[in-house]
Chains A and B, each alone.
Chain A
Amino acid sequence: MPTAPPAGPNYGRNYLPFAYPALLITAAVIIFPWMFTLFMSVHEWKIGSAREFVGFANYIKLATDPRFLESIGNTLYFTALAVVLPIILGTAAALIFNERFPLRGFCRAIFILPMMATPVAIALVWKMMFHPQLGVLNFILSLVGLPPTLWHTSAETVIPTLVMVEVWHWTPLVMLIVLGGLAAAPTEPYESAKIDGATWLQMFRYITLPLIMPFVVLATVIRTIDALKAFDTIFVISEGGPGTASETINIYLYLQAFSFYNIGYASAVVVVFFVLIIVLAMVLLWLRQKSKWT
């Protein structure tokens, strides 16, 4: 018989089964494997040989593994640059795209192309452009009178070089998020500020920035998570090299698992990496709460 129309505080619960299949698949593909990771991380386990229970030995080894410690440093260095630069550039781009100008839609489409492009394909093109002898980038530098750079082939420049590609890829995502915030901003404060004779810079500092801050913070959280787990670009362009100069945690754990086949050890890296990501995400969210940017 016809039921009453949706009512009551718990009526929504009836809709939960709609989400079960998706939840089940996600649990099966992600959450269940994590438990298996915990199990593997307390074993000495090489692909092709028998596993042996070693307790926390993998974790203790990690704490003194200079290569792993270096990879943490590399990851933080890469992440700091790959968060700050896209946030600044993306916010600036959002301010530009918030204005009305001819061909805006087309320019915006071009601008977001990098974030949709296949990262591996683009990384290959960058790699050819970075070539120290034949690459087009050193040629461009020579045109403006700058000395050539070694790009990804030198330990000093490899991380900034990789960051450059990362910035190219993901500045559009920051732009889109901040643009969403700008689109929702009210116009009245600007009108009264103009009447009061405020300069553009003052309006940006005291009206625009507070309005878009929640979106900038959201973009920062997303960028931080993405930069921490960056893989494709680094793997294709430098493979963690030269030497271990650009070996991030993600690259190190890939090498441990699929080049050296130390599955148990790699699993311990995963657990530590995971804790690092969660902690950083929590800190960012806590900062967001604390600043009352909701």
Chain B
Amino acid sequence: MSAVASGSSGLGPGLGWHLKRLAGKLGFAFAVFVIVSPAILVMLWMLSLSLKNEVDNMAFPPVVIPSPPTFANFEAVFENANLMRYLVNSLLVTGGATLVAILVGVPAGYGIAKASAHKIAICILIARITPALSYLIPLYMMFQMVGLTGSLWPIFITHLVITIPIFVYVMIGFFESLPPDLEEAALIDGCSLWQAFRHVAMPLARPGIVVAMILSIIFSWNNFVFGAVLGGRQTRTLPAAVYNMLTFEQVAWGPLAAAALLVTAPVLILTLFIQKEIVGGLTAGGVKGG
């Protein structure tokens, strides 16, 4: 809503015009404030809960600003010996699934873009449409039959369904926009298709790979349902572990908020730092994991 000059006639804009323009600007600023405040308020309240002692957290009316702030909640979370294990689980699962997605997703995006194979693209993107539980139940049974339960393998394998489609989707868009001249030159010089991809197209696509990597890390890290269904006491990922704090331990708000903050903080910080790339990658379409 750009403040359009209504232009009073005469020697230039009058006082009324200035007031109107100011009101328009203030109204716009207010609208911006309104749409960003829910995000900020929830995050700040999470921070506030995590820095208050239990007495203040249970006070009504609520204590807004922790005084003095305490780190006892974070200490309590870290004292939970298993947290480190869950952190390692999450890192292994997210890292592994993203790595495999780079290996198979980047070539797939390239092949699909080059062959305009939209049917294959739909087959892979079907993971984006279907509810996770529709394949989790049979997978759960199959993993049990094969005896893989109790290891991280089932969670890692299912996370591929999050990471690979993200890579395929982002990379199709990226390779479609890449001019083909250089690869064609390489092909004429006697490169195989794979060599042209590996040594010409892929280095050019590095920015796209980075965007896909970030999105794939974030959505794999955030995933809850795979870890909740397939994870055991030792093999949970962080989101499932945080949920378990709610059910199996005496519910104390401070440590719970601290744990929630620790899980989601890396993602939020990553988003803030590279929002431009993320926005670019996401606007390409409705990429979202799970």
Contact = CB atoms under 8 A, between A and B. Distances in A.
Interface of A: 1-3, 5-6, 12-19, 21-23, 25-27, 29-31, 33-34, 36-37, 40, 89, 92-93, 95-96, 99, 101, 105, 107-122, 124-129, 133-136, 139, 168, 173, 176-177, 179-180, 183, 194, 200, 218-219, 222, 225-226, 228-229, 231-232, 235-236, 250, 253-254, 257-258, 263, 266-267, 270, 273-274, 277, 281
A225 to B, nearest CB: 5
B116 A12 contact: yes
Contact of A231 (B124, B133, B184): B133
Interface stretch (B12-20, B65-73, B74-82, B135-143): B135-143
Contacts of B115: 12-16, 19
B278 A96 contact: no
Nearest to A270: B134
Contacts of B1: 95-96, 99, 200
For chain A, what secondary structure do more than half of its interface residues adopt (helix, strand, loop), or is it mixed? Answer: helix
Given A116-B218, A128-B253, A229 B267 contact: no
A277 B42 contact: no
Interface string B106-150: 011011101111001001101111111111011111100000000
A133 B253 CA distance: 14
5 contacts: A112-B282, A115-B288, A118-B222, A122-B42, A229-B132
Given A110-B39, A120-B239, A231-B132, A19 B160 contact: no
B193 interface: yes
Interface in B248-290: 253, 256-257, 259-261, 263-264, 267-268, 270-272, 275-276, 278-279, 282-286, 288
A117 B267 contact: yes
B188 interface: yes
B141 A263 contact: yes
B46 interface: yes
Contacts of A101: 28-29, 32
Contacts of B180: 6
Contacts of A109: 271-272, 275
B157 interface: yes
A112 B253 CA distance: 26
Interface of B: 1-2, 4, 28-29, 31-32, 35-36, 38-40, 42-43, 45-46, 49, 58-62, 100, 103-105, 107-108, 110-112, 114-117, 120, 123-124, 126-135, 137-142, 157-158, 160-161, 164-165, 167-168, 180, 184, 187-190, 193, 197, 218, 221-222, 224-225, 229, 239-240, 242-243, 246, 253, 256-257, 259-261, 263-264, 267-268, 270-272, 275-276, 278-279, 282-286, 288
A118 B138 contact: no
B256 A124 contact: yes
A253 B32 CA distance: 40
> For A112, A183, A266, which residue has the most chain B Cβ atoms within 10 angstroms?
A112
A29 B161 contact: yes
Given A30-B127, A232-B225, A194 B260 contact: no
Contacts of B268: 113, 116-117
Contacts, number: 296
A26 B126 contact: yes
A125 B45 contact: yes
A90 to B, nearest CB: 10
Contacts of B197: 18
B138 A121 contact: no
Given A116-B218, A257-B137, A26 B123 contact: yes
Contact of A22 (B49, B108, B275, B284): B108
Contacts of B242: 120-121, 124
Contact of B43 (A113, A173, A250, A273): A113
Nearest 7 CB-CB pairings of A with B: A18-B111, A22-B108, A121-B260, A229-B131, A12-B115, A33-B138, A109-B275
Contact of B286 (A93, A219, A267): A219
Contacts of A194: 4
B248 to A, nearest CB: 14
Nearest to A183: B283
Contacts of B112: 15, 18-19
A50 to B, nearest CB: 14
Contacts of A21: 103-104, 107-108
B224 A120 contact: yes
